Every structure is written in structure tokens, then in C-alpha cells.
Amino acid sequence: MSLLRLSLSVQGLALAFHAWQPAHATGESTVPSTPATTLEAVTVSAGPLGQKKDDMATPAEVLDGSALVLERQATLGDTLEGLPGVRSDTFGAGAARPIIRGQTAPRVSVLSDGSAMMDASAVSPDHAVTVEPMLAERIEVLRGPATLRYGGGAIGGVVNVLDSRIPTAVPDNGVEGQVEVRGTTGSQERAGSFGVTAGKDNFAVHVEGLKRRAGEYRVPDWTRSRLAGSQSESASGSVGMSWIGDKGYFGLAFTHLESRYGLVGHSHEYEGCHVHGMRLHCGGHGDGQDDHEHSHGEDSHAAPWVKLRSDRVDLRGEYRDPFAGIRKITLRGGVTDYRHQEIEGDAVATTFKNRGFDLRLEAEHEPIAGWRGVLGMQGARSAFSAVGDESFMPRSVTTSTGLFLFEEYRLADWRFELGARQDWQSVTPDGDLPRSSQTASSFSGAAIWSFAPQYSLALSLSRSQRLPTAQELYARGPHLATLTYELGDPGLGRETSRNVDLTLRKNAGDTQFSLGVFHNRVRNYIYAQTLDAFEDYRLIRYAQKDAEFTGLEAQVSQKLDRHVTVGVFGDAVRGRLLGGGDLPRIPAARAGVRAKVLWGPWSGDVEYYRVFRQNRVADFESETPGYNMVNLGIAYDGRWGASDYSIYLRATNLFDQLAFNHASFVASAAPLPGRRVTLGVRLAY
């Protein structure tokens, strides 16, 4: 079925639904109609000045409320998959990082209310992001000049996860909370969470917890009915407290997270492979065997699995109007003790540890000659190590310091933004390897023209610099999770990205849209260059070469009446090396249609999208076929005594299609899940 035909079908169904509505739904009975409401503009807390979502220079996406409840999955990447320009580098069911405009970690920063996570997810896609979407109150995705607040290296964007760990207000009735339970077919997932906040006078306490368990998920038309190693389970608990005054608050929270999940696509066939110069050697030495000979017998090992543990202390504070000239001082910080073990059989094969902290202090000043803005500083330290069979990089300590400034000026129908950031970074490895010490300077500017009521045109320009990570500098060894042997280069320098972003929006009325195009040209782009390959095993070296990324993001919605809204959406990105060659694991283009219905306490949505074939592939990379996806959601919101409740049902991959995610390291070995249906109940009091 073509996209056009399906779009017409969806709109036809919506119109038919409208015509079918009974008299009371069209206002012909004596039952009073629901009064029209004006939606409050959404403020993006990740923006330096708390701008409204529609005032951002480049598109900002916010997931909260019922939309977040329906979209939440076990991983952050899967939860955000439906947003324009956002995809996921899935690695089974236990790990999936967000991809924004073709970029993922370390060029996409994931934050906990403005503070760095300090886990190991930036090192490898099989390492989970230590965020529990079921405990999130809101998730923001930010692109453009405002990302300099979090580092010049975030050329893809920033994902900010907001939670309730540290109370910012005392509950009106002294206590409030929520509890939620849900179950999912296809993987037999069962999950539950709760959160309670209590307080009196100037003191409040928050307690929350979560438990989730899922088996291997079902895959249609596959060699096995279920994907080996795709089981997962996690548990998390947090206790936070804060002092709250008329001018702000100050609080602390302790969070403990444990997770276990399988590693899909893991193979022991290549354990004997090693490197001679810049060539892989997977066979014997002069004994008549081919250099790439190895056993093809059936792997008798069970799939390895990860045992993850994270202990984190969060620090958050805000002080409004502390003295003349300053509107607000904000403090964010986190101290993390992270460890995960990759276990094969009963033995620990490799242990990864990361112990570090991140601290950010910001001050928003009063307008000076019409300019208002934020000045801030950030400091971080990370001690990372990998010990065991896959200790492919030495223990290293990374310290960084950043100073940043963001300013805004308004003139008639125009709004201007300027940003600047200076970073200092040092990476000190164990052993005789050289220490890396480098600096980076980043600048940005934007102009937003509200040329007519409801309409705006935004142009943003930025020059951002990213410094190489310890992995890119010093890796040397096998990394079987991604079926690679990695070689770092201590001589790598900073990469410089020059970005242009143009966005046209209509943000009110029955017809709304956001149409954006972007182009990023990156000098000395750091990428994993494949030097040699044997079957699925590759020898990669981190190298630098100029690259560019070009793409578009679009979404259009039309409100047919107060009950029905239909729309179309799509995104695409092309990543290539200048001088020839495509970059690996660039997500395929996507386009789709959706319809939403609101009728009293009922709400529902249905969407269809096509992910197209990806045939622009890097050397040693395979094409990925396209696939169709249909998702459906229904929810009922009601009142029970003094509590609000919601009952929801979400079906994904409704037509049970076999689908492969090109952005995944294990795309061919780990298809996406088949049809799954989630039924959940949420109660807030």
C-alpha cells in the first residue's frame, strides 16, 4: 500500500468516524458540550532561559503526560523512537541509545535533569543508558544553539530526562503519589512502579521504586520464534529530600539501580582472531590453514548476559533573586559509582567500571541593554576501566572543565540568540601511553522571525568542537559485543562541526506544522574505519576525515473537529565522508501518517509509517530492507474518589512484520520485536 493511498484511507476513516458520531457527541442533545480549552505553552527546561517549545531556534520535542505513558518502553532509545529525527540503535531488549540526526553517543548527551549520567553507554551500544523511562515525568529532546550549554560535542542533540527524585514543592495536601502496573505480550513483560512525595512546612521527601522483568521477545518469520539473549530485568529505588523556601529549594537524592539483560548476536567463533599489523588473523600460522579459517560448528555457549549496578547521588538547587542583577542561580550535580559485568556461563568475562562526578553552576542575569542570558561553568571527572577478556582499552581518567554563555535579545517580531563555550579536557591513561590534553571552542547564533501570527521562521548557525574520548584515543583489543577488534589513535585531534538549520513553523490553529532542513559539515570527523573483515568480524581503527550530514524533519497536522486530528510526518538524514564513501549505521528515511481521536475521557491514536530500504552503506556494511510499521494506542482517563486513574492499551508492530534496524550494530542478528500489546493502569492521588 502506498503512502498516499494510506494517508487518504486514514483521513477517510477519520471523516467517517466524525459523520458516525451520535447526537450527544455533536452537541444535538441537552448534554452540555465540553468547553473549549487553550493549551498552555510547553516550557523546555533544558533551554537556558526556559523558553517555550515553539520559541526554540531549532525543533525541540517534549514527551510528557499521557503521551509519555503510552510511548514508554524499557529503554530510552525505544521510548523516543517515534519523535521526528530521533531513532534508536537497538541492541536486543536491554540496551538502546537515542540517535538524533544520524548521531549517537558521544555526540548525543543524555542528562538527568541537566546532569550527566556517568554510565558506560557512550562506550558501546550494548551498554544500557541508566535511565528508567517508567520513572520519568518528562523527556525533552533539544537541538541547536542551546545545546552548547551541555558541551560543544553534542552536535546531534541533548536528551534531558526529568524526574521527581528531588521535590521542588511541598504537596498541597501533604502527600501525593502515583502507582502504575503494566504487562506486555510477546515478551511476557511485567512491570510496576510507584512514587510518593510527602512534606510539611519547608521540608519534603520523595520515595520511588520500579521492578520490571521480561523474557526473550518473539520475532515473526525468524529462524527461532524468540530472539536468544533478549531477556531483561531491572529494579530501581530512590530516596530524595529537599528544603523548600519562598525563593527556591535545595535537595539531595540517592538512587540505586540494578539491571540484568542478555547480549544478542554474541558469537564465540572469533575469539581466536587477532591482529597482524593492519590485518585480521583468524587461523593458524603456516600449518596449511587459510589465514581466515575458523570453526563453523554450532556455538554451544549460552548467550552471555550483563549484570549492571549503579549507585548515584543527585544534587539540585535553585535560588531566585539572590541579589541585584541576578534573577536565578541554578545548581546541578551528580556522583556516580557504576559497574557492569559481562558474564558467560558462571564466569565474569569482563568488568566495566566508571566512577565520576558532574557539577554545573549557572546564573541568569537581569537584562543588560536588552540582552538577557545565562553564564555558567561545568566540571566533570570520570575514571573508567575495563578488566577481563574484553579489556579493549586501558583504565583512564578524563577530567573536563567548561565555561559557557547564552544570550537572547528581542526586537519587535525578531528574537536573536548567541552562545559561546570554551572547554578544557585531559585524558590520562594507565601505562606508557601518552596523555591527551586539548581545548575546544564553540559558538552559535540564531534568529527567529515571527513574521505573522502563529508563524515563525528560524535560522541557526553554529561552529561546535568535540574532543576525542578515551576509547577513540586508546582502544586496542577485541570487542565481541560489536564483533570488532578496535584500534585507537592517541594522535587524534578535535573535530569541528559547522551547522546550518532552517525551520518553518505554524504553532497554533487547526493546521500546524514544523518543516526543517539541516546541514552539518564536520572537519576531522572521528569515525570507526574498517580496515579488514572476516565474515561478520571487523578490524576497525578510529580515524579522522571530513564528513557531512544533510537531512530534513517534517510533521503536519490538521484538526478536522474537536475530536479528530490527522497528520503526516517524516525524517531523513544522509551521512557521508567527503571525497567518497557513506558512513555506517545511518538510519534509513522514514515517512508516515497518523490520526488522533479525543472523545470525552477516551483518547486514541493510530499510526502507520514506512522505514525505507537503506542502500547507502559503508564499506563492509550490508544493505537493510525496508519495512512497514503500524502502532495503535487507546486510553481512558477517569476519577476514582480523590484520585485520577488511566487505563491504557498500546499495540506495536500490529501486523507482525519482520523488521531490521539498520542503525543497530547487530541489525542482521537481532530483528525488532514482533507484535506486542501492552495493557497498563496508572493511579495518581
- pLDDT less than 50: residues of the chain: 1-39, 285-300
- Rounded Cα distance, 43 and 51, in Å: 6
Residues 167, 197 contacting (CB under 8 angstroms)? yes
So what's the pLDDT on residue 16?
35
So what's the pLDDT on residue 487?
94
So what's the pLDDT on residue 7?
38
How many CB atoms sit inside 10 A of residue 685's CB?
15
Show the cell assigned to 452: 505573522
Rg, the chain, Cα only? 25
So what's the pLDDT on residue 290?
46
So what's the pLDDT on residue 673?
96
> What is the widest separation between alpha-carbon atoms in the chain?
92
So what's the pLDDT on residue 272?
76
Collapsing DSSP to helix, strand or coil, 621 comes out as coil
Instruction: Kindly tell me the sign of the dihedral angle through the C-alpha atoms of 462, 409, 140, 149.
Output: positive
| pLDDT digit string, tens, across residues 610-626 | 999 999 999 888 999 99
Show the cell assigned to 442: 564553540
How far from 478 is each of 57, 64, 119, 537, 541, CA to CA, in Å? 43, 41, 21, 10, 12
So what's the pLDDT on residue 43?
65
- Rounded Cα distance, 648 and 678, in Å: 8
So what's the pLDDT on residue 59?
67
So what's the pLDDT on residue 449?
96
What structural domains does the chain harbor? Answer: 44-266+303-684 (2.40.170.20), 267-302 (no CATH)
Which helix or strand (DSSP H or E) is residue 71 part of?
helix 65-71
So what's the pLDDT on residue 680?
97
Strands 476-479 and 455-466, sheet pairing: unpaired
Residues 527, 558 contacting (CB under 8 angstroms)? no
Residues 595, 606 contacting (CB under 8 angstroms)? yes
Which residues have C-beta within 8 Å of that of residue 16, sequence separation ≥ 6?
A: none
